[in-house]
Amino acid sequence: MRRISARAHAKINLHLGVGDLREDGYHDLVTVFQSLSLADTVTLDISAEETVASGSIVGALTVNGLDAASVPRDAGNLAWRAVDKLVDHYRVQFGLEEAPRVYINIHKGIPTAGGMAGGSADAAAALVATHALLSETYPALPMGTLLELAAELGSDVPFTLRGGTMLGTGRGEQLTPMLSRGTYHWALIFFREGLSTPAVFQELDRLRAEGITSGPSLHTEDLARTLMTGDPEKLAGTLTNDLQLPAIMLRRDVARTLDVGRQAGALAAMVSGSGPTVAFLCDSQLQARDLVDDLLADGSAYSGATAHGPGKGAHVID
């Protein structure tokens, strides 16, 4: 048995502007992603004896770590789908016939259904690990092809593949690198119950139809300028999330946690992506640690972590 592991990081949306519902069921987004130090690790155990000529090459999938019980262990898991997608691409493009059977393990450090792109990160890590395996025998793929395959797996998969700081448009899959100086520290509070991303988008559509909330936040120029200063106090004034109100409407406990963190001195408090994870921008790692401890001690959430950004894209680890 041989082993290849890859790591991919969570994302936070420093700006999340959501446009109207498109005909294909997606919403147009203008978003600024930044990857965080929080990460999942995907490990492929590659069988020395078993080979597979058609269909899925995945023998089984196991999960441990944070929220492991709520992660699917079958072909619905995004990491499983990513392995098969890349193998199918090599079958069509390079005539791959026999591939070794692989067994996947995912170690979760990213909360599930927490608005931090955990499943997408697993797909990105699985893509780079499988690519490392297949490109030992067949040609390596250019990044552009990997990004296209990533976008077919999910809107956030291309960003988790590339990491860093990026402007995302379209469904969030069209990426343009942005400059970001310095390191930003976050206190993250996770909730036992996740939120369904489609349900939060639907709630936004409902709030807009009823005139309760206004149209999309499309401008990222101030944020772009702020990111170049490396000053977290300035960044605090430019964070935007159009999904924050709908997430709060669906989960009132999120609003309470936002308030507690603000009162405890966070520079800014925001819902991460579609939530319910709440992210507090802090001026140091120490303040972030204290904030997580305070919020956990008062019982308003069940777990939390500190993280800093920007982090890396998906990469193979030794």
- Distance from C-alpha of 147 to C-alpha of 149, rounded to nearest angstrom: 5
Is residue 11 annotated as part of the catalytic site, yes or no?
A: yes
Among 119, 246, 309, 311, binds ligand ATP (CB under 6 A): 119
Q: Which is nearer to ligand ATP, 173 or 280 (by Cβ)?
A: 173
User: Is 231 noted as a catalytic residue in this protein?
Assistant: no
Among 274, 287, 300, 306, binds ligand ATP (CB under 6 A): 274
Binding segment (CB under 6 A) for ligand ATP, from list 26-34, 111-119, 130-138, 300-308: 111-119
Nearer to ligand ATP, 100 or 111 (CB): 111
Which residue from 112, 130, 244, 300 is in contact with ligand ATP, where contact means CB under 6 A?
112
Among 6, 36, 78, 102, binds ligand ATP (CB under 6 A): 78
Instruction: Give the separation between CA 7 and CA 121, rounded to whole angstroms.
Output: 8
Which H/E stretch holds residue 303? strand 303-309
Cβ atoms of residues 207 and 213 within 8 Å: yes
- DSSP assignment of 252-278 equals HHHHHHHHHHHHTT-SEEEE-TTSS-E
What's the closest the beta carbon of residue 49 comes to ligand ATP, in angstroms?
A: 27
113 annotated to bind ligand: yes
- Measured N-to-C along each axis, helices 285-297 and 252-263 cross at an angle, to the nearest 10 degrees, of 130
Residue 115 among known ligand-binding residues: yes
Q: Which of 105, 120, 165, 300 binds ligand ATP (CB under 6 A)?
A: 120
How far apart are the C-alpha atoms of 100 and 137, rounded to whole Å?
Answer: 12
Q: Which of these ranges, 73-81, 173-181, 278-286, 294-302, lies near ligand ATP under the rule CB under 6 A? A: 73-81
First-to-final CA distance of the chain: 16
Of 152-181, which residues contact ligand ATP (CB under 6 A)?
A: 156
Task: Choose among 2, 96, 103: nearest CA to 53.
Answer: 96
Contact status: 118 vs ligand ATP (CB under 6 A):
yes
Smallest gap from residue 275 Cβ to ligand ATP (A): 8
Find the helix or strand (DSSP H, E) in which 144 lies: helix 143-153
DSSP result, 73-120: -STTSHHHHHHHHHHHHHHHHH----EEEEEEEEEE-SPTTSSS-HHH
Known catalytic residues are: 11, 156
Interface positions with ligand ATP (CB under 6 A): 71-72, 76-79, 106, 112-120, 122, 156, 194, 197, 273-274
Annotated binding site for ATP: 111-121
